[in-house]
A = this chain, B = another copy of it.
Amino acid sequence: MSKAATKDSYHHGDLRSALIDTGLRLLAEKEGADISLREVARETGVSATAVYRHFPDKDALLGALAYAGYEKLFDAQDAAAQGQADREKAFRAIGQAYVHFAVANPDLFRLMTNCMPSAADVESGAFPGDNRAGVLLREYIAALLPNGTEWDRGVAAVQALALVHGLAQLVLGGQIPNDPKLIDAVVDQFGSWHDSQT
């Protein structure tokens, strides 16, 4: 943002974020078709090789798009959790927000799952692992299983992640109808299972 707004000059000003912006736009516009480095450059009004001044290769560009996608996802999850009365409802809202985000941004979400940060990435700080959703997940599970071992809590966390992620994937693939009531019911029942275990 420091040297932006000089888009007509030889030097672009802030090409890196401009490329990310058009990348996100193309992902939102072109349903199903995957994105090409040259197209992102062309649509930004810049030569293809200019991209290489800001990203080592195409994967890095896609990774940056995925990163931006995760930030949008976390924002949506935060917003969904904000309005909830208690922690349990917030927890469920976060899970539902995950699926709804995937449905609303199918291509971006698919890209995100392809470039998903591994546990190593998060620990090394390359990805923002300290997002509010992750914190809430840990908090919620700790509260649900106060007497549970670390192992039990880990299993519960994995279950929550897998359920929500698999649900999103299946809805996107058309194996499960995109029915908000069904999605909410699946997530809600997962919560009540853990309730019944306390």
Question: Which residues of A does B touch, CB under 8 Å?
Answer: 113, 116-120, 151, 154-155, 158-159, 161-167, 169-170, 173-177, 182, 185-186, 189-190, 193, 196-197
Bound CA span A148–B47, Å: 61
Q: Which residues of B have CB within 8 Å of A196?
A: 193, 196-197
- Shortest A15–chain B CB gap in Å is 28
Q: Are A186 and B159 in contact (CB under 8 A)?
A: yes
A-side binding surface: helix, strand, loop or mixed? helix
In the complex, 8 of the A-B residue pairs with CB atoms within 8 angstroms, ordered by the A residue number, are: A116-B174, A118-B175, A154-B182, A161-B166, A162-B163, A162-B167, A163-B166, A164-B166
Q: Which residues of B have CB within 8 Å of A190?
A: 159
Bound CA span A167–B160, Å: 10
- Shortest A176–chain B CB gap in Å is 6
CB contact under 8 A between A118 and B162, given known A155-B182, A189-B155, A193-B193: no
Q: Are B165 and A116 in contact (CB under 8 A)?
A: no
CB contact under 8 A between A116 and B155, given known A163-B162, A166-B164, A167-B162: no
